[in-house]
Amino acid sequence: MNLHLSMGPLVSLIAGILILVMPRLLNYIVAIYLIVIGLIGLFGTGAFHL
């Protein structure tokens, strides 16, 4: 059984859940999300195979 996970959608899902749970941290969550997506784009580690 192969499971293919892409980092971009996974990070987006986690960020969305955190924004719903803790709306006061919106600025920090968005900043961390943008940094993580930028690093994924730079280093090209967009997918993990489990």
- Summarised one tens digit per residue, pLDDT across range 11-49 is 888 888 988 998 888 898 889 888 888 888 888 765 554
Round to whole Å and give the CA distance between 45 and 17: 23
Which pair of structure tokens corresponds to residue 8?
A: 């971009």
> How many residues does the structure list for the chain?
50
pLDDT reading at 5 higher than 60: yes
Residue 29 CB coordination number (10 Å):
19
Write down the domain spans for the chain. 7-45
What pLDDT is attached to residue 47?
55
**In the prediction, which pLDDT does 37 show?**
85
Cα radius of gyration rounded to whole Å, the chain: 12
